Amino acid sequence: MQYDAILKSLEATAVGKAIGESESLFPWIECVHVLAIVLVVGSIAIVDMRLIGWGSRDRSVTRLTRDVLPCTWVAFLFAACSGALLFVSKAVTYGHNFFFLGKMLLLVLAGTNMAVFHLLLSHDVEHWGATPATTPLPARIAGAISLCLWICIVAFGRWIGFTLHPSLGAG
């Protein structure tokens, strides 16, 4: 099958082999991955909660996103790169893991939600005002969807580690 051949060739690359064979590379990259994800989720949650109306209501959405989202993007870049490195070291296993595939789908959904918000819902964001700002309902829904998706992404990510080697049970 074409898909399996691609996964196998990824594992056979120099990078894939180096990480797969090293005792300490995988955990170190995992540390960077966890740190990056924690910063992605921690920062994006600030924006999501502002959209929902749970926090930072004394600051306009425009100001808040200008402050926070650059951090989110930098952290996301690190998460994606470290995640790619982890993936190639065990591509065949991850490529057939339900929670890994689910996590990728959830990421696509989170990206779609964000695109819909930026392109369709936030055109009048400047007029949402600062205090006491209530965001429009579609923006609140987009924030809530984003928060739920990121919580699920963390959960799916953690479940990957427990479903790679069913006999071992933990990882």
Binding site for other proteins (CB under 8 A): 27, 30-31, 34-35, 37-39, 41-43, 45-46, 55-56, 59, 63, 67-68, 71, 151, 154-155, 158-159, 161-162, 169-171
Minimal distance, residue 120 CB to other proteins, in Å: 27
For other proteins, the closer CB: 23 or 124: 23
Minimal distance, residue 166 CB to other proteins, in Å: 10
For other proteins, the closer CB: 7 or 153: 153
Q: What is the 3-state secondary structure (H, E, C) of the chain?
A: CHHHHHHHHHHHCHHHHHHHHCCCHHHHHHHHHHHHHHHHHHHHHHHHHHHHCCCCCCCCHHHHHHHHHHHHHHHHHHHHHHHHHHHHHCHHHHHCCHHHHHHHHHHHHHHHHHHHHHHHHCCCHHHHCCCCCCCCHHHHHHHHHHHHHHHHHHHHHHHHHHHCCCCCCCC
**Among residues 164, 169, 158, 165, which one has the least CA distance to residue 33?**
158
Minimal distance, residue 6 CB to other proteins, in Å: 29
For other proteins, the closer CB: 88 or 153: 153
Q: Is 115 exposed, middle or buried (0-12, 13-18, 19+ CB in 10 A)?
A: exposed
Minimal distance, residue 146 CB to other proteins, in Å: 14
Minimal distance, residue 4 CB to other proteins, in Å: 27
For other proteins, the closer CB: 128 or 159: 159
For other proteins, the closer CB: 15 or 34: 34
